[in-house]
Structure 1
Amino acid sequence: MTGPAGTPGPGTCAHGPGVLAVDSGGSGLRVTVARPGGGPSARRESVEPVRTGARGIDPGHLMEQLVPMARAVLAETGVGEPAAAVVGAAGLASLGDALRAELPAALAREFGVRRVALAADAVTAYAGAIGGLPGAVVAAGTGMIATGTDLRGWRRADGWGHLLGDCGGGAWLGRAGLEAALRHHDGRPGGSSALLARVEAEFGPVAELPGRLYPRADRPAVLASFAPAVASCAAQDPVAASILGAAARHMAESAAAVCPADGEPRVALTGGLFKIGAPLLGPLEAELARRLPHARRVPSAGDPLDGAVRIAVDLAAGEPALPRDERMLYVVTSARG
């Protein structure tokens, strides 16, 4: 295994060929080439998310972005043909049919790679956080998903998007804060004057808020942008504190739904939402201890791109430590162009 991209970890050979790892998500595309035993590594990134359409995630658009970035990092590191390639993609489980059908052959044509894995971003987040061990990972940014495995199969909870779920995630938290502000504006119970003041400072007059928000294509990100304001009010405002407590309960419920019931599974947190710190982490740690007393809380070792590197290193050596799954971790070991 490796730690953060290009860093050797337990079980890693001293020297090895380069591997290509990709993280495709809502904020764009990140690409790295790393060597299992260390040595030169390089990465590139794009801020343009891969398009989705009637066929789901667009493999052509992904390759348009990936090819020039991958060629650059391969040249920079002196890696000719990568020993393995892993693409972690948000939405792979439900929107990845075209990727599974076309991407392994496209990667073989462009880079000569014959060992390819396509992974849901929840799987790369899991691999980056705790590697090939049984447990559960809560990944929270704009959205929220919990993923768990006993190393025989995968379980997931939530991750249904900001309209249907992602409970406790950044968009959920921000929306709850905005609602509390509007409740105070209207004179309804459950409102918060502190949050109303923050809304007006960040978005302008509340009467203009629907017009500012509803036409936006990036509504989940706009909602999530208010989550830090909710956290900053929590120490003095009981309404904001209760919103963070509810977010913690939602996350812990999802973690408990996917965590193995036997043994001493690991539980880790990953994602940008946790940068808001103690106002969320305090109640979340308490909820996890209450719901998962048999689990061992561990710090996240890395992010989803690090997880893609971990999986690629294992794949280059023979077989991923994490279980294969048609939708969560799809492996092709003889891709042909």
Structure 2
Amino acid sequence: MTGGGAVGGWVLGVDSGGSGLRVALAPAADPSSALTTASREPVRTGPAGIDAAHLLEQLLPMARALLERARSTGTGDSPPAPGTDGGAGGAAGPAAVAIGAAGMATLGDDLRAVLPGALEAAFGVRRLALAADAVTAYAGAIGQRPGAVVAAGTGMIAIGTDLTGWRRADGWGHLLGDCGGGAWIGRAGLEAAMRGHDGRRGGSAALLARLEAVFGPADELPGLLYPRSDRPALLASFAPEVARCAADDPVAARILAGAADDIAAAAAAVCPPPSAGSCEVALTGGLFKMGDPLLVPLREALSAQLPHARPVSAAGDPLNGSLTLAAALATDSLTLPRDPRMLRVTAPSDDADQDT
């Protein structure tokens, strides 16, 4: 970003995903000192994509409550009281807002059309970042440095940047990809269990025993699985059982080794090349709570496929990432690359080019 002058003040970060809406308010100078609140109601998706009206219906009262909590602390850095200049266009409110949403890249047209005007009307906000959740995961994990982040839970996506553009790998859902993610591991484990049930090659008696302990008789699993609308989550629920069996069952161990190879391949596809200089790789998401059964083969796969990269611990989560983006906007220090779908930014210096 250029021009406009650093604003500072307080910033608002938003993380919208399948488990609901999380909102945080923090000083731009110290995004780690945040007040937070959350709703467990996911924002609806309709024919126009992610429903901007439904997001605003939840976000505006949550943001107002956080602003009031911050004011009630009485600190010198408190947001301005209603009726005073909020440092963001005249109304009391945050100096900048960053919203990360699952599906923003492909389903975010309504958000991109509605939110800039709605947030300016509500709070005077003229510095706004609308980001794919992979971007906020990146910013939370690594910040604004070159590298790659793999976010894995039920699904799996990798995103990387050399600070000139974004690269993405996978994240195509459980039918077309998400290779190495929780649903992928769980489905492979259940397939091996069913092979064991049938007496086919590649079957696992250990995984069959876990299937029956968790779901009941193996031959009843199709009737339980196929009618469900949450099949990816149900498949992913079996991934920890694969990890529990891996130490003693070679079939389970091979499944996790294959997942590790796919995760490393996604990271390698998006990581800046050695010619770009140093590159950090971070892992974030619930899948990696599996621990050593997955992490040991993953470290080996990353070392083989990305010998020039440096593994780092994720510094924070997507909500931390949204605060990082908002603080960078407020202080004119955003260096992550803008992109019409991955990271759309509006700011006073962009008045002539609002769709950058």
Normalised TM-score (structure 2): 0.87
Q: Which residue of 2 aligns with 1:6?
A: none
* 2:295 corresponds to 1:281: yes
Q: Which residue of 2 aligns with 1:7?
A: none
Structure 2 distance, partners of 1:53, 1:210, is 29
Structure 1 distance, partners of 2:244, 2:49, is 38
Structure 1 distance, partners of 2:122, 2:189, is 47
Aligned-partner residue type, residue 69 of structure 2? E
Structure 2 distance, partners of 1:135, 1:108, is 33
Structure 2 distance, partners of 1:116, 1:37, is 17
Contact 1:50 1:61 in 2 (8 A): yes
Q: Deviations over 1:84-129 (max 9, x none)?
A: 0000011111111111111111122222211000000110011111
Alpha-carbon shift at residue 40 of structure 1 (Å): 6.0
CA spacing shift, 1:236–1:301, aligned 2, 3 Å? same
Q: Deviations over 1:254-290 (max 9, x none)?
A: 1111100021111111111000000001011111111
Q: Which moved more, 1:258-267 or 1:34-43?
A: 34-43
Q: Which residue of 2 aligns with 1:202?
A: 214
Q: Give the counterpart of 1:50 among 43, 59, 68.
A: 43
Structure 2 distance, partners of 1:329, 1:37, is 22
Alpha-carbon shift at residue 297 of structure 1 (Å): 1.1
Aligned-partner residue type, residue 332 of structure 1? T
Q: Deviations over 1:49-85 (max 9, x none)?
A: 2121211111111112212222211211123410100
Q: Which residue of 1 aligns with 2:240?
A: 228
- SS of aligned partner of 2:313: coil
Q: Give the counterpart of 2:125 among 113, 126, 140.
A: 113
Structure 2 distance, partners of 1:200, 1:295, is 42
Contact 2:28 2:331 in 1 (8 A): no
Q: Give the counterpart of 1:219 among 231, 241, 248.
A: 231
Q: Give the counterpart of 2:67 among 58, 74, 78.
A: 74
> Residues 31-180 of structure 1: matches in 2 within 5 Å?
31-38=23-30, 41-78=34-71, 79=79, 80-180=92-192
* 2:28 corresponds to 1:28: no
Q: Which moved more, 1:49-58 or 1:208-217?
A: 208-217
Q: Which consecutive residues of structure 1, in runs of 5 or more, have no partner in the other structure?
A: 1-12
Determine which structure has more spread, i.e. the larger CA radius of gyration.
Answer: 2
Q: How many residues align?
A: 323
- SS of aligned partner of 1:161: coil
Structure 2 distance, partners of 1:203, 1:47, is 27
- SS of aligned partner of 2:200: coil
Q: Give the counterpart of 1:265 among 265, 276, 279.
A: 279
Structure 2 distance, partners of 1:206, 1:65, is 42
Q: Which consecutive residues of structure 2, in runs of 5 or more, have no partner in the other structure?
A: 1-5, 72-78, 80-91, 352-356
- SS of aligned partner of 1:146: strand
Q: Give the counterpart of 2:319 among 286, 298, 305.
A: 305
Structure 1 distance, partners of 2:123, 2:203, is 56
Structure 1 distance, partners of 2:230, 2:50, is 18
- SS of aligned partner of 1:223: helix
Contact 1:40 1:77 in 2 (8 A): no
Alpha-carbon shift at residue 35 of structure 1 (Å): 1.1
Structure 1 distance, partners of 2:346, 2:23, is 20
Aligned-partner residue type, residue 210 of structure 2? R
Alpha-carbon shift at residue 41 of structure 1 (Å): 2.8
Q: Which moved more, 1:133-142 or 1:62-71?
A: 62-71
Normalised TM-score (structure 1): 0.92
